[in-house]
Amino acid sequence: MDAFALLNEPRRPWVDVDALKTRFLEISSAAHPDRFHGAPETERLAATARYSELNTAYGILREPRDRLLHLIELEAGGKPKDIQRIPPGTMDLFVEVGQGCREADEFLKAKSEATSPMLKLSRMREAMEWIDRFQLLQGRVNAQRDRLMETVRELNAAWDSAPPLGSPERSASLPLEALEQTYRSFSYVDRWTGQLQERLIQFAM
């Protein structure tokens, strides 16, 4: 499946998600199953399959990480390798998030085991300090995401000037290594965001 082709979206790393949503709604409305309520079964099944495919394509293209992975698979013919390798420029944040989460888990365990009212109150005060610490860390992760989004936008120029689809020179003209590195960075940023948010919720409980 080529999600870009399905939604008439140029094959590029960065997309305007608002324009993408508008286009998706326009295209998918014609295939909405409700329009085929009284149609023969074959038409209803075809419309349902088409609508599902369009939804899947939209879900892929609206999320930066999923879109980059899809683009890599289309242009390189397979999934990126060595996905666990930490991208350059992210090691400090990788260490800080990992260590912070381990320490937070130890605190949360102690917090859950507190029984006396005084100890519970003390743990709640400590939890507020943890919230402040993790919100600052979350801000750094968000800043990293913003930088990655700018990188993705800049990569569009290479795709705009690349040889057309099917050209033997196309693959060599595209910065696929930079695209894979950006994808790996997004994967870590998304993972960190989830880890931090999960613990922020637990601190507040």
Say if CB 7 and CB 58 are below 8 A apart.
yes
Query: Distance (Å, rounded) from C-alpha 158 to C-alpha 146?
Result: 20
Look at domain 3-62 and name its CATH class. Answer: mainly alpha
What's the chain's Rg over C-alpha atoms? 22
pLDDT, one tens digit for every residue, the chain (205 residues): 999 999 999 999 999 999 999 999 999 998 888 888 777 888 888 888 999 999 999 999 999 999 999 999 999 988 887 666 778 788 899 999 999 999 999 999 999 998 999 999 999 999 999 999 999 999 999 999 999 999 999 999 999 999 999 999 999 999 999 999 999 999 999 999 999 999 999 999 8
Structure tokens at 167: 């050209």
Among candidate residues 6, 154, 169, 186, the one with its CA nearest the CA of residue 75: 169
Domain boundaries, the chain: 3-62, 91-204
Whole-structure pTM value: 0.89
Among candidate residues 67, 70, 53, 51, the one with its CA nearest the CA of residue 14: 67
